[in-house]
Amino acid sequence: MEENPDRFWWKHLFDSLYLVTDARSVLNEDVTRREVSFVVDLLSLEPEESILDLCGGQGRHAMELGRRGFSRLTVLDYSPHLVKFGDEECRRQGLPVEFLRADARRVCLRDETFDAVIVMGNSLCCFLVEEDYLGLLREMHRLLCPGGRFLLDLPDKKELVASFLPNSWHEADDDVLVMRARSWEEPNMLVREVMVSKERGLLRDANYVCRMFGPREIEGLLGRVGFSDIEVIRGFDAQSQDYDLGLMGNRMLVVGRK
Ligand SMILES: C[S@@+](CC[C@H](N)C(=O)[O-])C[C@H]1O[C@@H](n2cnc3c(N)ncnc32)[C@H](O)[C@@H]1O
């Protein structure tokens, strides 16, 4: 198969700069607390259950679960930077979270290891071809105990199309400006991200591609993999801001069980 040149953009873009460009969402503890409250309620999570935060980045959701008394927590992510950052932070704060650097499409863990798996912050959108997104969903199924539950947090494609803004910019901090130019190439959103520092000049000029899933499509994929009791909850809004949050603004949650 000919490789799509953008297919593996996620291997290099989740570095230290990502924690600046996306700080409004992924370093915002209020937002994370609200997201975790939704997850705990929707999956009826109990503190003794084993939970995998798959594609969990620096582990912000697992860390918040740790603060709430959950003790069997694993974060798996491909980014060496985010895994190291999260691991160091958990040690510093004394939180019981285990970090694993691995590819979510082929996880080196035994079958039926977890009671629940969560995939937060639009991570499934990193996977552009069926082999990759089905690979992640199959691993999620394999790793869950019988009856185990999952939650996917995804952009709501319909809402994104309705409120689409081709250009946006924000000041990430006193020094850094982030600009994004977006376009559609169904079923993907193409994003050019430019990051400029007043002090240091151009920090990043990169392109990435996010695969969007409609509610019917994601239900179909999850059913193919073997999940049941699938439910799509639209209108999920942990952040409600009046500025453009792009892909983090209009989301839907998908839950189900093995
Ligand atoms: C948008 S971030 C969301 C991170 C986190 N879930 C959150 O909400 O803060 C997407 C994450 O998926 C991870 N990722 C993408 N592809 C992956 C893969 N094949 N295996 C493991 N992690 C992957 C990236 O490294 C990144 O941390």
- Residue 101, in any domain of the structure: yes
Reported pTM: 0.94
- Residue 251, in any domain of the structure: yes
Residue 240 has what pLDDT? 58
Enumerate residues lining ligand 1, CB below 6 A: 10, 14, 26, 55-57, 60, 77-79, 82, 103-105, 120-123, 126
- Side by side, the strands of the sheet bearing 97-101 are 97-101, 72-77, 50-54, 114-119, 144-155, 251-257, 228-236
Mutate to test the pocket of ligand 1, among 12, 58, 77, 247 (most ligand atoms within 8 A of CB): 77
**HSE-up (13 A, CA, CB side) for residue 99:** 24
Q: What is the CATH number of the domain that holds 32?
A: 3.40.50.150
CA distance 157 to 232: 13
> Is the preceding peptide bond at 166 cis, omega within 30 degrees of 0?
no
- Residue 250, in any domain of the structure: yes
**Ligand 1 atom nearest to 26, measured from its CA:** 9
Residue 248 has what pLDDT? 61
How many angstroms separate the alpha carbon of residue 237 from the centre of ligand 1?
A: 20
Q: Residue 235 is part of which domain span?
A: 10-156+213-257
Residue 164 has what pLDDT? 85
- Residue 14, in any domain of the structure: yes
pLDDT average per 10 residues of sequence, the chain (258 residues): 70 94 88 95 98 98 98 98 98 98 97 98 96 98 98 90 88 94 93 96 96 95 98 78 61 95
**How many structural domains is the chain composed of?**
1
Residue 103 has what pLDDT? 98
- Residue 62, in any domain of the structure: yes
How far apart, in Å, do the first and last CA atoms of the chain sit?
32
Residue 239 has what pLDDT? 62
Mutate to test the pocket of ligand 1, among 14, 55, 109, 153 (most ligand atoms within 8 A of CB): 55
Mutate to test the pocket of ligand 1, among 34, 38, 123 (most ligand atoms within 8 A of CB): 123
How many angstroms separate the alpha carbon of residue 78 from the centre of ligand 1?
A: 7
- Residue 196, in any domain of the structure: no
Farthest-apart Cα atoms in the chain, separation: 54
Residue 2 has what pLDDT? 40
- Residue 190, in any domain of the structure: no
- Residue 217, in any domain of the structure: yes
pLDDT in tens, 169-215: 999 999 999 999 999 999 999 999 999 999 999 999 999 999 999 99
